[in-house]
Amino acid sequence: MNALNDDDLVFVEDEAAQSETGEDAGHWRILVVDDDPGVHEVTRFALANTLILNRPVTLFHASSGAEAVALLRAKDNIAVVLLDVVMESDDAGLRTVDIIRNELKLANCRIILRTGQPGQAPEAETITRYDINDYKTKSELTQNKLFTTLTAAIRSYDQLLRLDANRRGLEKIIAASNQFIVEQGLQTFAEGVITQIAGLMGIEPEGLVCAAVEDNPLDKSSSQLRIIAAAGQFRHLIQHRLNEIDDPRIVGALTEALEQRRNLIESRNVTLYFAKTPEKGFAAFIDSAIPIRDVDQDLLEVFCTNIALCAKNIDLVAELRSDAFFDRRLGLPNHTALVGEIDQRLAMAPDAGSVLALVDVDQFASANDWLGQDYGDALLEATAQRLRERLPSEAFIARRAGDGFAVVGPARVVNGEHVQACFRTPVAIEGVHQSVSISVGIVPLAKGRSGIEYVKDGYLALKRAKAAGQGQTMMFSEDFRRAARERAHLLHDLRLATARKQLFLTYQPQIDLKSGQIVGAEALMRWRREDGGLVPPDCFIPIAEHSGLIVGMGDWLLHTSLLALQRSRAAGFPDLRMAVNISPVQLRQPDFFEVVAEALRQTQSHPANLELDITAAVAGGGLEPVIAVLGRLRAMGVTVAFDPFGTDYSALTYLDELPADRLKVDHRLVGALEQDARAARAARTFIAVGRELGLKVVAKGVENQNLLQRVIALGCNEAQGYHYASPMLEEEFVAWLATQRRIHS
């Protein structure tokens, strides 16, 4: 075989040895395959000290196809193979090409075939099929020709590599974009940016990301720039100000990129600028131990734009996160965050003895109604502030909803005594010191249940605390959960009860105490279950009220009782009055007036024969609408009785404002007249206030002659109770009326 026949051949050392130590980083790697040692030597001479596309060359040598394949398996990044066609066999070269392309899958590697004679040239089809770069006879490859041939091949190899890098880069950008959306916060994001840029450039991640400090986003002086992420040797610089870095190269590059809002690409580092908004952005400085390959500018541009968009999304996601987990109004974690906190505490330390306390401000709704929402807001802010100030920092404080707060922490910190103690002294609300009372429901946390379940338990305890009065604390008990479950079952059954017609009415007569005449009746609802058992109204009426079922049930009662009244009229008792209990939920319905008017019209009843019994609870939703609708109904002729519950003396305060005709004295209060001097005083006060306001007073629960005498003595006008009759079914009631008429005629 012919050796190269050019003139100025210079001897070079075997550079393959260097590559093992990595010293050929940035060199073009060329593999010379020939069974003629002279060819190797001549090639070495020809390429000594040669730079191709500004980079040196490292030669590898193989003297057979098999050796070449072994070497290609062992070495990466061989840019060009200078391959003899005829070696151990006539087609050893072409077989090597086949292995390179099909077995080793080295698609980028350029192949230049060299043959001794023109006759050994491969078919054109073979050249195309195997992507052979060039074909030269050895005699053609003078030093100059070798240089130009290799330069063309290496340029092509480099372009293929860049295409590859671009593809990989774009894939990374897409993957990164997806990943960044779910990342939490700018720091993780910025760390990702360093890794991505380094990956794109094929270098180790060494760099830092810098942004203007939050409160001064437009000042780009190095003292106002903060390092938000760092990787590699720069890791320790995270959170430092840029001017604290003792490297003018980095400080200069980052400041310049941020000030001029542009990318700076140097031979051993790049500084990329990412614009989040026209004014705000951040910059990443990436260092490289080796000269940075001429990375496609376009790719970096695409990367910067895409990642800047991601950064914008990070801010949006951060805002969404904050909205999802944070109550901006009071600056406290919200219900979702509370549930997450409990779950996290239980997952990390299930036996730590943590406690959840749910806190409600007593009378918040009425304070909000009476004193306005601004006052309500100030009250909530003051409550949050007080909890923050008085409870130790290890207590996690959250706002659940409305006036509901929650505290989670160790039992020694979070207990009824400590939480209540926060409000022992008055709280400043709108500049005035006022007493705030809270109700607290306590639940110890232990493994086995989830955060959401514990909050539900806490709520049950809190409800009990509130029911016990103001300023109370209640510890959760399993009984609360059981009772709640029973109520849920009862509600389910009650829904079916209305459809299955299990509800019916009973009527209890009312007597005028002066004349002894029967003046009316109270309609009382009953529920008989499928098994025949009666459910007391005290059990199902509150459930009906809470669920809203009472509205439909109340309409039905109104119609049914007025129809019964019509039938009693037909039976010869024309002047009776029907008293129906009206729940506050019914009264607050916007069409309540129309519902009553329609019932009167449909049953052809006279409004004066209808009495609506309302309780003190109507004041809960604000008195004004109640006063308005009752005023309209009274103007039509309907009468109203105020029927406060038990010994709730505070109900008397509404009496003056509510338009009413009668005051009913609760059977508990009347019953207590026989036993308790204090109750007797309370009953007397009730009756006196009613009379003072010009109301007729009705004593309920008159069970015997003794009580009758007492209520007469106290000045009551009417009475109702077992002494006269128990609540009866309609037929019984009509029969009872007939009997009474016979007796008294």
Residues that bind ligand C2E (CB under 6 A): 508, 524-525, 536-538, 541, 557, 581, 583, 643, 667, 671, 700-701, 703, 721-722, 727
Which of 359, 740, 352, 354 minimizes the C-alpha distance to 571?
Answer: 740
SS3 83: strand
Closest contact distance (angstroms) between CB of 561 and ligand C2E is 9
Find the shortest distance in angstroms from Cβ 724 to ligand C2E.
Answer: 9
Min CB(454)–ligand C2E separation in Å: 34
| Nearest distance in Å: CB 600, ligand C2E | 17
Residue whose tokens read 């062992």: 74
Identify the residue whose tokens are 């609540």.
727
Q: How far is the CB of 519 from ligand C2E (least distance, A)?
A: 16
Tell me whether residue 338 or residue 557 sits nearer to ligand C2E (CB atom): 557
Report the 10 Å Cβ neighbour count for 116: 16
Indicate the SS3 state at residue 595: helix
668 token code pair: 């508990």
Name the strand (E) or helix (H) holding 226. Answer: strand 225-231
| Alpha-carbon gap, residue 203 to 457, rounded angstroms | 56
Which of 415, 426, 368 has its CA nearest to residue 392? 415
Residue 293 or 559: the one with the smaller Cβ distance to ligand C2E is 559
Q: What does each C-alpha distance from 563 to 521, 558, 559 come to in angstroms?
A: 13, 9, 6
* Torsion 347-353-358-359 (CA) sign: negative
CB of 671 to ligand C2E, least distance (A): 6
Q: Nearest CA to 549 among 583, 597, 505?
A: 583
Q: Are 718 and 699 in contact (CB under 8 A)?
A: yes
Cβ closer to ligand C2E: 24 or 666? 666
Nearer to ligand C2E by Cβ, of 288 and 583: the residue is 583
- Hey, what amino acid is at 339? V
Cα-to-chain-centroid distance, residue 250: 40
Q: How many residues does the chain have?
A: 745
- The helix or strand, by DSSP H or E, that contains position 382, with its residue range, turns out to be helix 373-390
Nearer to ligand C2E, 457 or 666 (CB): 666
Angle formed at CA 642 by CA 618 and CA 728, multiple of 5 degrees: 110
The CB-of-407 to ligand C2E minimum distance in angstroms stands at 37
Closest approach of Cβ 578 to ligand C2E, in Å?
12
As a whole number of angstroms, the distance between CA 189 and CA 172 comes to: 14
Rounded to the nearest whole angstrom, what is the least distance from the CB of residue 743 to ligand C2E in the complex? 20
Q: How far is the CB of 535 from ligand C2E (least distance, A)?
A: 10
Report which DSSP code applies to 675: T
Query: CB of residue 603 vs ligand C2E: minimum separation in angstroms?
Result: 16
Tell me, what amino acid is at 234? F
Of 571, 652, 583, 593, residue with least CA distance to 617 = 583
By beta-carbon proximity to ligand C2E, the closer residue of 9 and 587 is: 587
How wide is the angle at C-alpha 138 spanned by C-alphas 137 and 139, nearest 5°? 90
Minimum gap (Å) between residue 499 Cβ and ligand C2E: 18
- Pick 334 or 510: Cβ nearer ligand C2E: 510
Q: Are 343 and 423 in contact (CB under 8 A)?
A: no
Per the CB < 8 A criterion, the answer to whether 27 and 58 are in contact is yes
| Phi, psi of 575, rounded to the nearest 5 degrees | -110, 20
Q: Is 742 exposed, middle or buried (0-12, 13-18, 19+ CB in 10 A)?
A: exposed
